[in-house]
Each structure stands twice: as structure tokens, then as C-alpha cells.
């Protein structure tokens, strides 16, 4: 049984003060939820306050990015060790916005995944095709390259804990969601690829869906057998909406 994992990707939203307001609002709303893993991913500047306020609760904290070196002359970068010391458990890697605007490639994604594990963080690795790639019938090729290149050097015993987020680029922030069947087909493909890379451990890997997940579509998406959670942008920013998403099964 794979425990569902619901993660909010805040992107470039919420100052530290706004983070305090959100966390204090969401904590009592989610108290006692233990059948779903709950993660919030604030910007770097809010991580400290988020981990402090969620200590000893059922809410975990992730970062949205990291750099693969531990330290050195890399102005503006943050290492996995720094995030771990702040109390992070997760880190999003290879989000399509980072691939599109910040030049991330499968090679940098691979380095980031390995360094996240080395720092004791669990990577949430984003993959997904653009609308053009889907229209050209290239979904399988695109996802396969992202997974094979991105996960190079992983071995099942150490890294079966990885989380994959299937996020079709055309569905992110557009209000256009993949149908549950479209999403599940991609998730099945990803699990097949993971089985080739990780063997039996692939059965335990959680694959999240991301792309305009909202309280009114979450239930049917999560009802699909290979969808094990969601990575949520816009709808994770308000406490009442995030509560409904986390409690999708109730």
C-alpha cells in the first residue's frame, strides 16, 4: 500500500509573515490526519519559519530547488545540507518552470537528485510533456528520457524512496487538467520505467499527479490506481482549499 502524499508547491508566493498566517490556520484544520502525508514547499525565505511552526505536527516541509554542491563559490545557490539543517524532508527537483525559465536539464536534474539523497532529503522529481510533444505523439519518448536520464546512478536499495510528480506542462496553472484516464496512463508508463530502473522497489514509489488539481477534481484523479497523491500549485495557497485537497478521501 502506498500512502498518498499531497504537497503544496507555493512557487514564488508568501513572505515569512504570510507563511506564519497560513501555517497557523492550516495546523488545526489538518490535525489528526494520518492516512495522508502532508507537505508544504514554501520559498527558501519561509522555510525556517515553516519548519519551526510545524515541528511535531503531521505537516512536513520541502524546498522547491537545491544546488548539487555542498558549499563554495556558487553565488545565490542553496545546498541540500543547508535545507536539511533547516528541517526540510523533501525537495522538488526539475519542475517544468525551472526547466523552462532557469535552464534545468535532465543532467542537472540528475545531479540534484543524487545530492538531495546524499543530504538526507527525499526528491520529488517532476516530469511531463508539453502540449506540442503530446500532439506529436511523443509522450512516451519525452517521459522516458526524463526518467532514464534524470534517475541515472540510482539504486533500488538506497533510492526506492524517490517521489515522481507527473505534471503535463500544458496542465500547470492553466485550469486544464488531464483526465483521470490520461493521467493514469502516464503514471502506468512511469511505473513501468521505474521497474526497469529500480526493480521491485518501483512498486513502493509514489507517483503524484500535478496540473490544475483543485478540490472539485481531486477525488476522481486520486481514485485512479496509479495516482498516489498530488503536487498542487495555485489551489494549495489557501488554507481551506488545501484542507479539502488533503482530505480528498473523506
Tell me the catalytic residues.
95, 167
In the complex, which residue's CB is closest to ligand PEP?
233
Determine if 62 is a binding residue for ligand PEP (CB under 6 A).
no
Stretch that binds ligand PEP, among 46-54, 56-64, 111-119, 229-237 (CB under 6 A): 229-237
C-alpha radius of gyration, the chain, whole number: 17
Around 72, how many Cα atoms within 13 Å sit in the side-chain half-sphere?
5
Residue 132: all three cell numbers together: 506540442
Determine if 212 is a binding residue for ligand PEP (CB under 6 A).
yes
Provide the 3-class DSSP secondary structure of residue 138: coil
What residues contact residue 29 under an 8 Å CB cut-off, 6+ apart? Answer: 239, 240, 243
Residue 67 bridge partners (DSSP): 79
**How many other β-carbons are positioned within 10 Å of the β-carbon of residue 8?**
27
CB of 173 to ligand PEP, least distance (A): 4
Nearer of residues 88 and 213 to ligand PEP, judged by Cβ? 213
Determine if 231 is a binding residue for ligand PEP (CB under 6 A).
yes
Determine if 129 is a binding residue for ligand PEP (CB under 6 A).
no
Determine if 233 is a binding residue for ligand PEP (CB under 6 A).
yes
* Residue of 62, 33, 238 whose CA lies nearest to 165: 62
The angle that helices 16-30 and 44-54 make with each other, rounded to 10 degrees, is 30
What string marks each residue from 137 to 176 as x (binds ligand PEP by CB under 6 A) or -? ------------------------------x----xx---
Nearer of residues 31 and 131 to ligand PEP, judged by Cβ? 131
Determine if 37 is a binding residue for ligand PEP (CB under 6 A).
no
Answer yes or no: are the C-beta atoms of 51 and 86 closer than 8 Å: yes
CB of 165 to ligand PEP, least distance (A): 7
Q: Report residue 182: phi and psi, to 5°.
A: -60, -45
Nearer of residues 7 and 121 to ligand PEP, judged by Cβ? 7
Determine if 123 is a binding residue for ligand PEP (CB under 6 A).
no
Residues that bind ligand PEP (CB under 6 A): 9, 11, 167, 172-173, 210-213, 231-235
Amino acid at each position: 500500500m502506498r500512502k498518498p502524499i499531497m504537497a503544496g508547491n507555493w512557487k514564488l508566493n508568501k513572505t515569512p509573515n504570510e507563511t506564519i498566517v497560513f501555517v497557523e490556520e492550516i495546523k488545526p484544520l489538518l490535525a489528526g490526519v494520518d492516512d495522508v502525508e502532508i507537505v508544504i514547499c514554501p520559498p527558501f525565505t519561509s522555510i525556517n519559519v515553516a519548519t519551526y511552526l510545524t515541528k511535531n505536527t503531521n505537516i512536513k516541509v520541502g524546498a522547491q530547488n537545491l544546488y548539487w554542491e555542498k558549499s563554495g563559490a556558487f553565488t545565490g545557490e542553496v545546498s541540500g545540507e543547508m535545507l536539511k539543517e533547516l528541517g526540510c524532508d523533501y525537495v522538488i527537483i526539475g519542475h517544468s518552470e525551472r526547466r523552462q525559465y532557469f535552464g534545468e536539464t535532465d543532467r542537472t536534474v540528475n545531479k540534484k537528485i543524487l545530492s538531495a539523497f546524499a543530504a538526507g532529503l527525499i526528491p520529488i522529481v517532476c516530469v511531463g510533456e508539453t502540449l506540442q510533444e503530446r500532439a506529436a505523439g511523443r509522450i512516451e519518448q519525452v517521459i522516458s528520457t526524463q526518467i532514464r536520464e534524470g534517475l541515472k546512478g540510482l539504486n533500488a536499495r538506497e533510492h526506492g524512496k524517490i517521489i515522481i510528480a507527473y505534471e503535463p506542462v500544458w496542465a500547470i496553472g492553466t485550469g486544464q487538467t488531464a483526465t483521470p484516464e490520461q493521467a493514469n496512463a502516464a503514471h502506468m508508463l512511469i511505473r513501468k520505467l521505474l521497474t526497469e530502473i529500480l526493480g521491485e522497489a518501483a512498486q513502493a514509489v509514489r507517483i503524484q499527479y500535478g496540473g490544475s488539481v483543485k478540490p472539485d477534481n481531486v477525488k476522481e484523479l486520486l481514485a485512479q490506481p496509479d495516482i498516489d497523491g498530488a503536487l498542487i500549485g495555485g489551489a494549495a495557497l489557501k488554507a481551506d482549499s488545501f484542507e479539502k485537497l488533503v482530505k480528498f478521501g473523506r
